[in-house]
A and B are shown apart, each in its own frame.
Chain A
Amino acid sequence: MQYLENPRVNLGKNRGSFNLEITTSALCDLSCTYCFEGEKTDKRRLDNDLPVIYKRIDTLLADEEWFQKHYEGLNISFWGGEPTLNPRFIVEIMNRYNDNKLIDFHLYTNAFNINNMNKIIDNVDTSRLKVQVSYDGKLVNDKYRLTKTKTLTSNQVLNNLYILAKKGIHVSVKSTLPIENMETMYASWCEFKDIQTMLWKIDPKINISYAPTIDYVTKVKQEEKDAALVVFREEFLKIAKEEIAFYAEHKRHLCSWFGGEDNRKHCSAGLNMAAIDQAGDLFACHGAIYSSKKEELKTATIADEDFVEKLKASSRKFEKPLSKIAKECHDCVATTCMICPVASHERSEKEDFFDAWTDNWSNNLCGFFKTFGEIDRAVQEINFRSINGL
């Protein structure tokens, strides 16, 4: 494999905020059939470890040699399971750092239970909180995102999304796209446009995206992937036509995949982010928590007195895979690439850690991103000619 120096990655100063994800609860109130977290039965929580967590965060913030040199601030992101199942934990951390303007907060949620959400947002300053709601579009959502008694969730989730928006919460939406349901993409895009229109009526400043992540965890046969790719292309051609009109009117894309560049090919897991699981162990990202090779990916535990030193060492270690790029990826037509290095590491047969970490081809998803890259470049060309009157 030939590698080139990667000119597009920022390993210097001004990396923005460091993202520290903390698992509030590994349990969930839904039972989504495609969930990559597996059986969610681990009841451990870090409630009693809050003093230690504060100590680690305070040490991190005070670190001049690495943290202050590279980062403008810290983003504390609450991860689950369903994070809102432990509202008190979230409220305590947010209020502890309420006066520290270097810290922002982010919350993942399925937005199913507004009562738990209210226990959080009614007791904190929400001005620095961003809430990301998981919603796939009704056709996918009602097939996969079900309650434990197999009832549908879409209407309730959408309703709660609007409630959050009305309360002035900064909301975004993130979707999963199962490979066997590619035919739903265009309908989902249209639905997201409707949701966007509804949100603009609440507040014209709310901008959401249709931001699907292809389900890279569920194992699908190659023949099924090949068939899905044909549907994927047809669906994205239709979306592309709508996106051109949307871009002309709003000067941005609704689907986050569009308008990409060659630099959207690297996951910076481990470099500018880290995740703490329900046991207090530290990983490169929340995806690593569910890897079958989890133990290889563990970098520290909150009980370690040198936790921050280990976090710094881990971040420096993860500079390595970003400093170079495989020539095949460098020359690739893709403008958006969401190949998960944790999944690569899990599936790869390569022995060296970073050879496995960057073994993108073991995921066998390149076809989707290459196909989309061609469509995106065509859309960008159409927009470019339109803007410049060519």
Chain B
Amino acid sequence: MNVKQLNYSLFKAAEHLAEAGKYMLVFNRERGIKMMEEADMILSVIKPEEEKVPQEKLETIMNEIMNIKAGR
């Protein structure tokens, strides 16, 4: 798992936890707020890294790969 993948996993974890917190508010307001605070804490762990290949160039290379003729 590289940093980008880790960041994405952390983001998804925070997203799901915040969503769960939202529903928890109905049953236990204090616990729901706590879950959303925990989601915030997970988000704060994410350290964005600058992309070394600009997105446009990355898309071009991805297209090159998918369209190249491979095979024996």
Which residues from chain A sit less than 8 Å from chain B, CB to CB?
A: 186-187, 190, 237-242, 244, 259, 261, 331-333, 373-375, 377-382, 384, 388
Contact = CB atoms under 8 A, between A and B. Distances in A.
Given A377-B53, A379-B65, A388-B8, A241 B58 contact: no
Contacts of B58: 374, 377-378, 381
Given A244-B65, A384-B8, A190 B72 contact: yes
Contacts of A382: 62, 65-66
Contacts of B66: 241, 382
B31 interface: no
Contacts of B57: 374
Nearest to A238: B70
Given A186-B70, A240-B65, A333 B52 contact: yes
B62 A378 contact: yes
A187 B64 CA distance: 19
B53 A374 contact: yes
Contacts of A331: 52
Of the listed residues A187, A237, A380, the one surrounded by the most CB atoms of chain B closer than 10 A to its CB is A237
B26 interface: no
B68 interface: yes
Q: Nearest 9 pairs between A and B by C-beta?
A: A378-B61, A238-B70, A333-B52, A240-B65, A241-B70, A378-B62, A237-B68, A261-B2, A377-B53
B3 interface: yes
A332 B53 CA distance: 10
27 contacts: A186-B70, A187-B72, A190-B72, A237-B64, A237-B65, A237-B68, A241-B65, A241-B66, A241-B70, A242-B70, A333-B53, A373-B53, A374-B57, A375-B65, A377-B52, A377-B58, A378-B58, A378-B61, A378-B62, A378-B64, A378-B65, A379-B65, A382-B65, A382-B66, A384-B4, A384-B5, A388-B8
A32 B28 CA distance: 74
Contacts of B2: 259, 261, 380
Nearest to A331: B52
Contacts, number: 54
Interface in B47-72: 52-53, 57-58, 61-62, 64-66, 68-70, 72
Which DSSP category, helix, strand, loop or mixed, fits chain A's interface? helix
A373 B61 CA distance: 11
How many residues of B sit at the interface, in one of the four size bands? Answer: 10 to 19
Interface string B7-40: 0100000000000000000000000000000000
B48 to A, nearest CB: 14
A377 B57 CA distance: 11
Given A374-B53, A377-B61, 10 more contacts: A186-B70, A259-B2, A261-B3, A331-B52, A373-B52, A374-B58, A374-B61, A378-B53, A382-B65, A384-B5
A157 B71 CA distance: 26
Given A261-B2, A261-B3, A388-B8, A381 B62 contact: yes
A385 to B, nearest CB: 9
Nearest to A234: B68
A381 B68 CA distance: 17
A242 B68 CA distance: 10
B4 to A, nearest CB: 7
A241 B64 CA distance: 9
A163 to B, nearest CB: 27
Contacts of B53: 333, 373-374, 377-378
A238 B53 CA distance: 20
Contacts of A259: 2
A382 B64 CA distance: 12
A238 B68 contact: yes
Contacts of B61: 374-375, 377-378
Contacts of A239: 70
Nearest to B2: A261
A240 B52 CA distance: 19
Nearest to A385: B62
Contacts of A373: 52-53
A190 B71 CA distance: 9
